[in-house]
Amino acid sequence: MRRILCFGDSNTWGYVAGTGERYAHDVRWTGVVQRELGSDYTVIEEGLNGRTSVYDHPRALARKGIDYLLPCLLSQKPLDLVVLMLGTNDLQWTDAYGAAGGARFMVDRIKHYSYLEESSWMFKEGKGQARILLIAPIRVHPCVNERDPIKRRHNYVEEAKLFSELYEQAARETGCYFLDAAQYAEPSEVDGLHMTLESHEKFGVAVAEKIKEIFGE
């Protein structure tokens, strides 16, 4: 039984654009991954609305992903793969380069944590043998600029276009696997940030195929 941890933000949680409700488990992309992989895998959801990579959120508590990363890895061990998809919320505090830098730091921390004595074989393959799939977040719909008169998300649309290139570079330089969510999923026109139901399905299938490739299946 392989254990896969999916660590992300509201698009991993399953946020429904416009209502704030949560898509049902079997239609969220993580649920689709579970369906596609079958009973030989356990897919663990760890999504949180508003979660950043390494940036403090002054308007909400417990949103900085790096703070919860180690406790999460320890509580969910042993793991075979960590799927990491964060960065969209980072654009409230930094640019695409800063978001990719935050993702890179989290990849480095996962590898570092796996060497800690107290990790006690956090990853099944042993110390330092952490498999990580870094996913570049989806792009942002232009409607975000129209729906945000106070410019809290200034340049979201333009910066998000750089995710694919910068995250692929981060994955290459840190030696982890890579997938570009924008190739499979699109944001809803309702809020410009959250995946449509159809995108959850398409993206989930793509992630499952990537996971099979990682494990040589």
Give the CA distances from residue 164 to residues 51, 151, 177, 191, in Å, rounded to whole numbers and listed in that order: 19, 24, 13, 21
Domain 2-214 is found in CATH 3.40.50.2030: no
pLDDT at 122 over 50: yes
Question: How distant is the alpha carbon of residue 65 from its chain centre?
Answer: 10
pLDDT at 146 over 80: no
pLDDT at 167 over 80: yes
pLDDT band at 47 (very low <50, low <70, confident <90, very high): very high
Q: Report the pLDDT value the prediction gives residue 154, as an integer from 0 to 100.
A: 61
Taking residues 149-172, what's their average pLDDT?
Answer: 83
For the chain, the structural domain boundaries read 2-214
Rounded Cα distance between 175 and 152, Å, is 34
pLDDT at 205 over 70: yes
Q: Per mean pLDDT, which range of 26-35, 87-96, 143-152, 180-189 is the poorest?
A: 143-152
pLDDT at 96 over 90: yes
pLDDT band at 150 (very low <50, low <70, confident <90, very high): very low
* Residues ≥6 apart with Cβ < 8 Å to 211: 4, 33, 37, 41, 81, 83, 133
Q: Report the pLDDT value the prediction gives residue 141, as an integer from 0 to 100.
A: 82
Q: Report the pLDDT value the prediction gives residue 149, as an integer from 0 to 100.
A: 52
The 10s digit of each residue's pLDDT in 105-121 is: 999 999 999 988 877 88
